[in-house]
Amino acid sequence: MNIKQESSTLVFFVNGKKVIDPNPDPECTLLTYLREKLQLCGTKLGCAEGGCGACTVMVSRMDRKAKKIRHLAVNACLTPVCAMHGCAVTTVEGIGSTRTKLHPVQERLAKAHGSQCGFCTPGIVMSMYALLRNSEQPSMRDLEVAFQGNLCRCTGYRPILEGYKTFTKEFACGMGDKCCKVNGNGCGADSDSVTDDKLFERSEFQPLVPSQEPIFPPELQLNEDYDSESVVFSSDRVSWYRPTSLEELLKLKAKYPNAKLVVGNTEVGVEVKFKHFLYPHLIYPTQVRELLEVEETSGGIYFGAAVSLMEIDAILRKRIEELPETETRMFRCAVDMLHYFAGKQIRNVACLGGNIMTGSPISDMNPVLSAAGARLDVASFVDGKLQKRSVHMGTGFFTGYRRNVIEAQEVLLGIHFRKTTPDEHMVAFKQARRRDDDIAIVNAAVYVRFEKNSNVVAEISTAFGGMAPTTVLAPRTSELMAGQEWNLQLVERVAESLCTELPLAASAPGGMIAYRRALVVSLFFKAFLSISQKLSKAGILESDAVPPEERSGADLFHTPVLKSSQLFERVSSDQPNCDPIGRPQVHAAALKQATGEAIYTDDIPRMDGELYLAFVLSTKPRAKITKLDASEALALEGVHRFFCYKDLTEHENEVGPVFHDEHVFAAGEVHCYGQIVGAIAADNKTLAQRAARMVKVEYEDISPVIVTIEQAIEHGSYFPDYPRFVTKGNVEEALAQADHTFEGTCRMGGQEHFYLETHAAVAVPRDCDELELFCSTQHPSEVQKLVAHVTTLPSHRVVCRAKRLGGGFGGKESRGITVALPVALAAYRLGRPVRCMLDRDEDMLITGTRHPFLFKYKVGFTKEGLITACDIECYNNAGWSMDLSFSVMNRAMYHFENCYRIPNVRVQGWMCKTNLPSNTAFRGFGSPQGMFAGEHIIRDVARIVGRDVVDIMRLNFYKTGDRTHYNQELEHFPIERCLNDCIAQSRYHEKRSEIARFNKENRWRKRGLAVVPTKYGIGFELVFMNQAGVLLNVYADGSVLLAHGGVEMGQGLNTKMIQCAARVLGISSELIHTSEMATDKVPNSITTGGSMGSDLNGMAVVDACEKLNTRLSPIKKALPNGTWQEWINKAYFDRISLSTTGFYSMPGTGYNPETNPNARYYNYYTNGVGITVVEIDCLTGDHQVLSTDIVMDIGSSLNPAIDIGQIEGAFMQGYGLFTLEELMYSPQGMLYSRGPGMYKLPGFADIPGEFNVSLLTGAPNPRAVYSSKAIGEPPLFIGASVFFAIKEAIAAAREDQGLSRHYPLEAPATSARIRMGCQDKFTNLVRFVTPK
């Protein structure tokens, strides 16, 4: 058989429409094709590495062998468009729309309040849709698996699961919306109660009707040629081959031995995108029968190398149910590992053969296969003949990093999974930063065969990932165990042997050296516990061979079925139905977001002549630029211009949100990795990025490079005018008189914003002297002002628009200029539209993070625990420029005491200047960092005086009328009430008893409980920022267009503003629309941040509507029975203006100790309390949040659904900050964690098993619109309750070992820090056994 050479035509279907492309690009992904060629922009780019799920689509293909249609959720960002030949693709646009009819999957997500910013929503919708196409009534486990590959940064996941569990068999109850499982709170709130607990009406959901789904294209179903024909797609760089026979495949491999075989493209796709590898020959073997075979024999099951991981999982699970347990122990190992292997979208297409051949040292499956000595079949075409041979995984299979004994011209055909015997046991474990969809830190598999009916080891094999450049076995340790009895004495010897046999150099990639070495022995011990219990059950070991308190050490965490409740204040029975205030209204754009019709910046259709801008980034942390040469890049066809600092005057190049200490382009010197040196404008993104990599930049290093706070302190590297001080009382005297004093430190790392939509901008020249910008920014007026500065245009010729953001969290407050200014400059200079949307790795490298903080404090207190004095030093890592770091420091200094009154205070703030990208605003804006110190202080006091921490909290709580250390009187301070309600709601005292009992009964599992209150000041510290404007236009048909100065970024601001307008005007909210924030509608707006969006803009909306009502008043009196439309019509014909502005300036703020001492610093405070229970695995450092209860005082909620969503989302973001999310840098300041592969947000499986949120009732706030309170940021710090609960659990483990409960734990409390905090014989062994 000859190899086909002529190019084929790509044929596939998208949403039922046939797509024919005679010249497809083999390097093009399905996502790029959908968005750029087909203009289907509902599918989003979130990460480009298959880690966030924003790009999820459904791919359907005909399985000729099974004679059925397979529907698969896949990541379009990794799927090559050439792989779609003969397939049908369904995107979010293809299942429903607001113009026609919504699909139930779209409707339920939106109406259950599961869409906030909406950027992740289409991907989540398509994951659920694909699940329902495969199972009309899935289980809750199916739901868990379906969303393993999806991330959401806004919602906290609870409302998504609440909406979608209505499809499942467990919750599809005949009681409908009255089902106790639906509301999670018995039979719901009493109808006479002042509270309500129902955020959506399940009875309003349309039913799922599977027969109404779009059919698979008959042409693909009937025409076998699409599957049987060999195809070739070629470009000038890459050729793509799809052979249909083994012989053709082997001939291709013989001809191109370095060709890459791709099935799921999950590895090669990442290499091509992020490592910029070029593979000239790609082979797609999914139509080669021999690679797809599945065959069961008496000895096991054979899987073809191209069989997908999900198919393997399904087949193994089926056989586990059917076969005796003793035969399926290897199968169970495999499915345990596969459950946590990436996300479902990856497992749907990735194959085991690819995993083996990639040879990643942290592969999840390779240790299992290596420990089992799995047999592999390989083939090649040599001298005109097909040759086959078998090789075994195990010792010697991997020959080096990503290399093995299979030769370049050979192809892996399949893998044999063998059945086990009663004397064979096998277990496997994986430890990662996050359980779901994460790469392993260390994984282990242990295979052991015992002498018949005994506990004497006949043969054993242990394999580990993450301990060497390859999966490694421990043959010396295995040899030591052979012939030995399986008992605790053996474990001691094995642990020492493993420490010696598997050393890890201090410089090993991945860091966490001590932790990884401890995991090796800990995971073996877990295997020992697991196998010992099986031997006990079989009667081979005594029933008490494993002491009862140690048995749970073998267990793993599993995601529980979510239980939740949401309690909020019921609206008054006499409130008019058209008045939406206080009602749980659906987010105004939720339906559009669920259908993919909502437009984000990069969804704006491409324009004629549009160019793409790609950045040249610094590859040095601190250096002088000695050469900048773009000539090679400019020589490429389609590259139009290179911009750098030479294209601007020194004044024009100097920019910044407050202080102009930054540059549009680095001017002669770079100060951090990722600083923008220049920019290439080219015809498209691929070309622009390729050209940017060709720009030659030469540097001369400058010393010292300062990365950490400690290095800044050592070198005295601070910003001018620091430290700053806030003092109250006489600290020295109070400390001297205190019964006790204690000195402590605490520190916490930064946090990546990880908004799902990265920074983006599109600039369009209008006339010769106007610019229009569409920008993903929280501060359009700031972008407008700085674009005017850079282009030397006056502001009235620059219009900046922000329709919606795919998340912001503060990261788009000041950093939007990073992208917007170069894009605007390029568009203005070239006279053409210019676009840029950062890739995820670029965004994370360039734009800065939450500020890391270090606190050093000395606290004085009475013997009863009443705090009398505190002297505290605060250090933040500001990065290389000022940005907003001074304000972040001020907030930290003003919030360090949290809810506790301290009569004598001295706070010092030091802003450290380092060679990192400038750190910036992030939800909480310094307050969580400051309160983190306060919660350490209160716990130190409780520990030293020997009292319960809640008693010490109560003793020190502020009371109404008290003054803060910045002299603000607390006018309404209900923290005691929040605490009491939360203690009752959470069954606090009952849980404390349960935890004490659990900890006594379990050696290797411990639980902890923590109470965390919060006090968050609402208001901008700069007085001029406490203002807002509104433009209200009423049209002759009665419809209302509302433009306000805030930006919608998922927080429901537009929805709340519409509700406010609807109440004042007395009309239905459906008559009111908010289009966008634009600087030509509302000038001089302030940033949307500080949780102030509703407070400021809401009052401005009320002002505008009241002005309009005043104008309409005579007409309403003349026509008392008229309708809104009749009144407006009359006003129009009477020539009454139906356009008005509104304005609000917040009174009474602007505190300054010298010039304005009687003013308030903050307008008011939002308070709340959270109580969390956590369980940790002392052997691995893994943890699970068992329950969280939150009570928040948010006044009278404008919209309980949105506010509860904000509370849950903020809590989960805080949970991530304090536990999972760890930024990893090189010693020189290069960020390693530049995507979801390395940087772990909380996922669906990380939400508390029981998640209850209550809004305090009867607590109106007189200082904000309709008695509400700001809510976006205040709940975030409650996420620290997880951290402090973990700390309590670790303390319990240490107490078991006779160690002090007091020890330092840095945030985030990662699995490594948890494990090493649980000091025991295994961690001690790692410290004392020196690798040979």
Q: Which positions are catalytic?
A: 1273
DSSP label of 67:
T
Which of 1278, 1286, 1276 lies closest to 1311, judged by CA? Answer: 1286
Tokens representing residue 456 in the block? 């004497």
CB 950 within 8 A of CB 956: no
Tokens representing residue 200 in the block? 């959506």
Q: What residues have CB less than 8 Å from 612, skipping those under 6 apart?
A: 681, 682, 683, 684, 685, 687, 688, 834, 835, 836
Q: At what angle do helices 1124-1133 and 1093-1118 cross, to 10 degrees?
A: 80
Which of 938, 923, 1001 lies closest to 1287, judged by CA? Answer: 938
Give residue for tokens 């050209």. Answer: 691
Residues 734 and 741: their CA atoms lie apart, in Å, by 10
Radius of gyration of the chain (CA): 31
For residue 605, whether the previous peptide bond is cis, meaning omega lies within 30 degrees of 0, is: no
Residues 714 and 705: their CA atoms lie apart, in Å, by 12
Strand-pair category, 662-663 with 724-728: unpaired
* Burial category of 574 from C-beta neighbours within 10 Å (exposed 0-12, middle 13-18, buried 19 and up): exposed
- Phi and psi at 864, nearest 5°, equal -85, -15
* Burial category of 1033 from C-beta neighbours within 10 Å (exposed 0-12, middle 13-18, buried 19 and up): middle
CB 359 within 8 A of CB 341: no
Which of 313, 320, 394 lies closest to 350, judged by CA? Answer: 313
- Phi and psi at 70, nearest 5°, equal -100, 135
Residues 769 and 792: their CA atoms lie apart, in Å, by 10
Residues 1053 and 1046: their CA atoms lie apart, in Å, by 7
- Phi and psi at 484, nearest 5°, equal -95, 155
- Phi and psi at 1174, nearest 5°, equal -130, 150
Tokens representing residue 1312 in the block? 């490594």
Which of 305, 334, 343, 352 lies closest to 439, judged by CA? Answer: 343
Our CA angle for 310, 314, 318, nearest 5°, is 170
CB atoms within 10 A of CB 8: 19
Cα 442 to Cα 117, 365, 513, 514, 859: the distances in Å are 35, 12, 11, 12, 41
Residues 406 and 765: their CA atoms lie apart, in Å, by 57
Helix, strand or coil, per DSSP, at residue 1097: helix
Could you tell me if residue 946 is left (phi over 0), alpha (psi between -120 and 50 degrees) or otherwise beta?
Answer: left
Instruction: For residue 613, list its beta bridge partners.
Output: 681
Residues 1041 and 1097: their CA atoms lie apart, in Å, by 15
Residue type at 1319 in one-letter notation: Q
Please, what's the b/e burial string for 594-616 (b: 16 or more CB within 10 A of its CB; e: otherwise)? bbbbbbbbbbbeeeeebbbbbbb
Dihedral angle over CA of 1208, 1213, 1218, 1222, nearest 10? 150
